[in-house]
């Protein structure tokens, strides 16, 4: 075979390049691995919830106490409660929380799934509380025959009930508790 030396040379070159590639790959990966090793151990994600101390003097609802050079675990998604039990409203004009899941209830230009049950005409069939009169009022306090555009997108104001913990400490007292606490001193009137 006339080209035998050439074949040997080509084979040797191929083998050499494979070796160089393998060495470069191992060396390179070791180096970048080494570079990442220090921050990787230092930035093991921190559980934001575990670190957050309610009433710790500082409100940090965004990072929840996780230092800026550390990565925080995103808190687990809250579970929607589907109990059909209404929660007490903290004040009369609070939009009540939704005591049922709303997954897949479409509200768009053509249909409003919420009004299927919460409209006046169907409320009895579905045993749902009908939306109150305010939902039929326009901004000039005129009553409309159908749901007001201002109240069309229900989830703008109403949220589902979840088991999410309070993000920041909060000392809110509703008016009944305030009155109850003030009642004894002024009891003689």
Q: Which residues bind ligand HEC (CB under 6 A)?
A: 84, 86, 93, 95-96, 98-100, 102, 105, 112-118, 126-129, 131-132, 134-135, 147, 150-158
Q: What is the CA radius of gyration of the chain?
A: 32
Of 134 and 162, nearer to ligand HEC (C-beta) is 134
CB of 142 to ligand HEC, least distance (A): 16
3-class SS of residue 57 = coil
CB under 8 Å to 27, separation ≥6 — which residues? none
CB 47 within 8 A of CB 73: yes
Structure tokens at 132: 């109150």
CB of 167 to ligand HEC, least distance (A): 22
**How far is Cα 64 from Cα 62, in angstroms, rounded to an integer?**
6
Structure tokens at 16: 């050499």
**Ramachandran angles phi, psi of 46, nearest 5°:** -95, 135
**How far is Cα 42 from Cα 23, in angstroms, rounded to an integer?**
29
CB of 121 to ligand HEC, least distance (A): 13
- Closest Cα to residue 61, out of 134, 165, 143? 165
**How far is Cα 142 from Cα 101, in angstroms, rounded to an integer?**
32
Of 43 and 97, nearer to ligand HEC (C-beta) is 97
Of 91 and 183, nearer to ligand HEC (C-beta) is 91
CB of 78 to ligand HEC, least distance (A): 17
CB of 126 to ligand HEC, least distance (A): 4
Of 51 and 102, nearer to ligand HEC (C-beta) is 102
Of 63 and 158, nearer to ligand HEC (C-beta) is 158
Of 129 and 165, nearer to ligand HEC (C-beta) is 129
């Amino acid at each position: 075979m006339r080209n035998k030396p050439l074949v040997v040379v080509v084979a040797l070159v191929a083998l050499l390049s494979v070796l160089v590639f393998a060495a470069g790959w191992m060396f390179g990966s070791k180096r970048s691995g080494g570079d990442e090793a220090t921050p990787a151990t230092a930035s093991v994600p921190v559980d934001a919830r575990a670190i957050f101390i309610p009433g710790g003097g500082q409100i940090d609802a965004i990072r929840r106490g996780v230092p800026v050079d550390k990565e925080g675990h995103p808190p687990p998604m809250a579970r929607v409660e589907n109990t059909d039990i209404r929660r007490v409203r903290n004040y009369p004009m609070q939009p009540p929380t939704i005591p049922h899941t709303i997954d897949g209830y479409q509200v768009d230009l053509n249909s409003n799934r919420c009004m299927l049950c919460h409209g006046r005409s169907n409320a009895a069939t579905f045993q749902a509380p009908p939306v109150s009169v305010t939902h039929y009022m326009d901004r000039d306090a005129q009553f409309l025959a159908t749901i007001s555009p201002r109240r069309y997108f229900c989830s703008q104001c109403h949220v589902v009930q979840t088991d999410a913990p309070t993000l920041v400490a909060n000392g809110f007292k509703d008016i009944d508790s305030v009155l109850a606490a003030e009642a004894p001193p002024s009891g003689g009137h």
